Every structure is written in structure tokens, then in C-alpha cells.
Amino acid sequence: MTTLSATRLAGRRILLGISAGIAAYKSAQLARLLKQAGCEVRVVMTEGAQAFITPLTLQALTGEPVRTSLLDPEAEAGMGHIELARWAETILIAPATADLMARLAQGMADDLLTTLCLASDAERLMAPAMNQAMWRHPATRRNAARLLHDGWRLLGPDSGDQACGDVGPGRMLEPEAIMAELIRPSAEAAHGQAAPAQDAPTQDAPAQGLHIVITAGPTREPLDPVRYLSNHSSGKMGFALAAAAAELGARVSLISGPVSLPTPEGVARIDVETALQMHEASRRLVGGCDIFVGCAAVADYRAEALAEHKIKKVEGEDALTLRLVKNPDIIADIANERDAAGGRPFVVGFAAETRDLEAYARDKLSRKRLDMIVANDVSSAGLGFGADDNAALLLWRDGEGEGGESLPPQPKTQLARAVIERALGCLSVRPVH
Ligand code: PMT
């Protein structure tokens, strides 16, 4: 999170609710991040949550006693539950289990946490976490819809490997991503605007309810402890895309190679170094994502073997042979994989070319099975790698056929917005994959 984001949370009174799931261990990190951002944090745990993490851990992290029971005369003598409900400016439940969602959707008040939720006018957010089949079950879908209707914001869930061995949607968002989501309503409130309803795109926030994953920057492929192979990508283009997507209302995950740029406001950033790490992070985040944008300049090859010690100059030898092996093609993998329901995100690739821009871009569009490609000529002075400006040829395929548009030289921030808006347009008329 940026300092500005943290400042926006400073002093905020947050009631952190924890229910019974294996993801409860991540709530400790979440409590820490909230405290670091300057929030006042009070924790309420359900009975089941205490089987996964102890109240003492949360007490140590927040410096406040943890509440676990509605019928606790001692705790009630301190701050009564109605007082606690009024104290909270934000109720954040992480993890929220299927059972808790069901009870809240029914308006039940059968333990301290549900009672507080019913008795409070605070902003309400939850990060669901459960087995993928439970998340997909019609009963949970109904409860999620009910909760959205009742004004809850649902953060996630993410998709990927689950503790039970299944793969699919239901993983709790990472604490850093929850923090990024948390600042969004505060930012809107600071500008005197009402937060738009979850999953309801508006003219100002056409990407509301969408999750956009973007890769940016270079990758670094180590040769030995002090040397690596890389390229001149600064990350500016990818970071501009992330900022534009967040401004348009999306939840944005930015997977970044090593760059020295600040994280755009409201964006969850995942730092990686190598192509293999970027591949792993992309595959982990892509489940349930709506648009995937591959802007990173990924090294096509890495050293076959990483030298344990610094490679020494050999006296009398004028040449050194390095054996390289191919890295996975991240974007092609994303475009070619299907989730359990047979779907995949709208996939936008970049093509960095120094000649025959359109021909090479068309080849990449079809060979990697992308939906859109942003082709930039990286041999033009003042554009492309490292520059503040860029120009591009956009080519796409959507439910209405093929399209193309030439974007003249302009600041990367402006070009990024045009790319995201075009992708949103295509997504709205997209054929079923
Ligand atoms: O970061 P900046 O300094 O702002 O510069 C921006 C940029 C020039 C890096 C950017 O606009 C750009 O063109 N990014 C893509 C660079 C690139 O690697 O292009 P490519 O033609 O080699 O790759 C085609 C596509 O496949 C890209 O979407 C790339 O992310 C993806 N790819 C490539 C190799 C690989 N192993 N995995 C991939 O996913």
C-alpha cells in the first residue's frame, strides 16, 4: 500500500470479525497491516475460529482484548456489544465461512459477531473463504446475492489451490489485497461520493465488479549470485494500465517484475523476479479474473543451471558459452487454459516489435490465442521501453468479429485508459470461450 493509502485508513475504527476457516491464520497478518496503517482494531472471533487461531495472538497484535462471546459479563462490563457495534466505522470479516454468510443472509443474531453485524450501521465488508464446491453451491450463491443486496461488499474469493486439495474459487484474498480494497470506499467518501453498489457498473466505474490481472515490468533471470539476464522495461506501461483499471472501478492485481515505481492507488501488487515466479503468480490469480493483461517483457529464456558462485573469467578463453532453456509462455498458457466451468478471462497481450508491426502482432494474436493485442513499435525514439509516451496498434476479436484501432503517440497514462476501455467494450460483446 502507498503511504497515501495508509494515511486514508489512519484512525479508522475497524471491527475485524474472524470465523472458522483454515484461512484464519491470515487474519493475524491482516490485523498487523491494519495496525500498521494506523487503524484502531477490535477483534471478534466466532467459537469455531478459535480452533484455528488463538484470541491471544490477535490480542498481542492489536493490543486490545479479543471478544468471543455474547454472554460474557466481564467483557460486557467494559464495552457492551451494542456500544461495540456503534464504535465500529467498518466491519471487516475475514475469513467469512459459508455458514457465517448463511447466518448473516438470514439476519440471525445467534452469536456475538452476527449480533454486532445486525446492530451496526457501519460499512460492511467480508472476504469469503471456503471449499470451491461450497462456494459454487446454489445456496451460497443465493446468500452472496442477498448479502450484496443488503449492502455488504464481498472481497474475492480468489481461485487456486485449496488447503483441502481442491482447485477452484474459494481462497480468501491475501491480506494485502484486502487492504487495497479497504481503502477504496474511504477514498470515495473523502471525495463526498457514495460508494457504487458491488457488481453494478456505472458510467464512471464501468469496470466495477471486475477483477483485472496485469503483468508489468521486466523479468530477471539469474545466471549466478551477482548477474542476471533482463531487458529495458521500466514498468511504466503496465503500471499505467493498473492505475487506469482501478480508476475505472476494477479490482486490480498487478504482478510486477523488479521496477522502481510506486504502486498505483487501490491496486494490489505482487512483486516477482523471474519468469517462473511471474508464471506461478499469474496462474494463481487468474481463476475468476475477468481480464488478464500481459504487459510484462518476460524473458523468453533462462539459464539452464544457476551457478552457485560468481562465474569466473577464464584466462586465455575469449568466449563463454551459456546454455539457456525456454521459459513458459505465460500469456499463451493463460489463454489456453479453461476453468472448471469451461471459461477463461478476456486475454490482452502486448507485442514489442522493431519491424513489420502489424504482421508480427497478428501472428502473436492468433498463435497465442489472445483476444486482443497491443502492438508497439519499440524502435521509435521517445516511445516504448522506458519512455513516458507510447503509440500502439490495437487488434482484437470479440463477439462482433475482428477490429482494429491505431493509437497515436500519447502519454502512457492516456494510452492505458484507451486500452482498458477497449477491452471492457470487447468483454461486453464477447463470445463464450
Ligand atoms: O515497461 P515500459 O518501459 O513502460 O515499456 C513497455 C513495454 C514496451 C515493455 C510494453 O509496452 C510491451 O510491449 N510489453 C510486452 C513486451 C514483450 O515481451 O513483448 P513480446 O512480443 O516479446 O511478447 C508478446 C506477449 O507475450 C506479451 O504480452 C508478453 O507479456 C507475453 N509473454 C512473452 C514471453 C513469455 N515467456 N511469456 C509471456 O507471457
Nearest residue (by CA) to ligand 1, atom 37, is 329
**Distance from residue 433's CA to the centre of ligand 1 (Å):** 24
| Atom number, ligand 1, closest to the C-alpha of residue 231 | 9
CATH, domain 211-302+323-428, list 3.40.50.10300, 2.60.40.420, 3.90.1150.10, 3.40.50.1100: 3.40.50.10300
DSSP state of 49: G
**Distance from residue 139's CA to the centre of ligand 1 (Å):** 42
| Atom number, ligand 1, closest to the C-alpha of residue 333 | 39
| Atom number, ligand 1, closest to the C-alpha of residue 237 | 4
Q: Is the pLDDT of residue 411 over 90?
A: yes
pLDDT band, residue 17 (cuts 50/70/90): very high
The confidence score (pLDDT) of residue 196 equals 40
Cross-strand bridge partners of residue 404: 395
Nine-digit cell string for 351? 507485442
Q: Is the pLDDT of residue 53 over 60?
A: yes
**Distance from residue 229's CA to the centre of ligand 1 (Å):** 15
Domains 13-191 and 211-302+323-428 share a fold: yes
Is the beta carbon of 365 within 6 A of some atom in ligand 1?
no
Q: Are strands 90-96 and 123-128 parallel, antiparallel or unpaired?
A: parallel
Judged by average pLDDT, the poorest of 186-190, 290-294, 359-363, 373-377 is 186-190
The residue ranges of every structural domain in the chain are: 13-191, 211-302+323-428
The confidence score (pLDDT) of residue 43 equals 98
Is the beta carbon of 331 within 6 A of some atom in ligand 1?
yes
pLDDT in tens, 225-241: 999 999 999 999 999 99
Whole-model pTM? 0.63
Angle made by CA atoms 246, 252, 254, in degrees to the nearest 5: 115
pLDDT in tens, 362-391: 999 999 999 999 999 999 899 999 999 999
- Name the catalytic one among 164, 289, 295, 426: 164
Contact 230, 218 (CB under 8 A): yes
Give the chain's mean pLDDT.
89
Angle made by CA atoms 161, 278, 184, in degrees to the nearest 5: 75
Is the beta carbon of 39 within 6 A of some atom in ligand 1?
no
Is the beta carbon of 297 within 6 A of some atom in ligand 1?
yes
Nearest-angstrom CA–CA distance, 319 and 143: 66
The CA dihedral of 390, 393, 396, 400, to the nearest 10 degrees, is 120
pLDDT band, residue 188 (cuts 50/70/90): very low
**Distance from residue 374's CA to the centre of ligand 1 (Å):** 10
pLDDT band, residue 3 (cuts 50/70/90): very low
**Distance from residue 294's CA to the centre of ligand 1 (Å):** 7
Is the beta carbon of 357 within 6 A of some atom in ligand 1?
no
DSSP state of 327: P
Q: What is the mean pLDDT of residues 263-285?
A: 93
- C-alpha distances in Å from residue 281, one per residue of 96, 178, 213: 24, 17, 10
Nearest-angstrom CA–CA distance, 266 and 279: 23
Q: Is the pLDDT of residue 433 over 60?
A: no
Is the beta carbon of 378 within 6 A of some atom in ligand 1?
yes
Is the beta carbon of 333 within 6 A of some atom in ligand 1?
no
Q: Which of 220, 295, 358 maximizes ligand 1 atoms within 8 Å of its Cβ, making it the mutation to test the pocket? A: 295
The CA dihedral of 171, 178, 342, 360, to the nearest 10 degrees, is -130
CA–centroid distance for 175 within its chain: 11
pLDDT band, residue 129 (cuts 50/70/90): very high
Instruction: Say whether 39 is catalytic.
Output: no
Q: Which of 214, 221, 233 maximizes ligand 1 atoms within 8 Å of its Cβ, making it the mutation to test the pocket? A: 233
Is the beta carbon of 329 within 6 A of some atom in ligand 1?
yes
**Distance from residue 238's CA to the centre of ligand 1 (Å):** 10
- Contacts of 284 by beta carbon, 8 Å cutoff, 6+ apart: 158, 160, 161
Cross-strand bridge partners of residue 401: 398
The 3-state secondary structure of 252-300 reads: EEEEECCCCCCCCCCEEEEECCCHHHHHHHHHHHHCCCCEEEECCECCC
pLDDT band, residue 430 (cuts 50/70/90): low
pLDDT band, residue 201 (cuts 50/70/90): low
| Atom number, ligand 1, closest to the C-alpha of residue 353 | 21
The confidence score (pLDDT) of residue 408 equals 94
**Distance from residue 369's CA to the centre of ligand 1 (Å):** 15
Contact 371, 398 (CB under 8 A): yes
pLDDT band, residue 278 (cuts 50/70/90): very high
Nearest residue (by CA) to ligand 1, atom 35, is 329
b (16+ CB within 10 A) / e for 209-219 = bbbbbbbbbbb
Report the CATH superfamily, name and number, of domain 13-191: Flavin prenyltransferase-like (3.40.50.1950)
**Distance from residue 338's CA to the centre of ligand 1 (Å):** 23
Query: If we measure between CA atoms, which residue out of 173, 234, 247, 174 comes closest to residue 208?
Result: 247
Contact 330, 354 (CB under 8 A): no
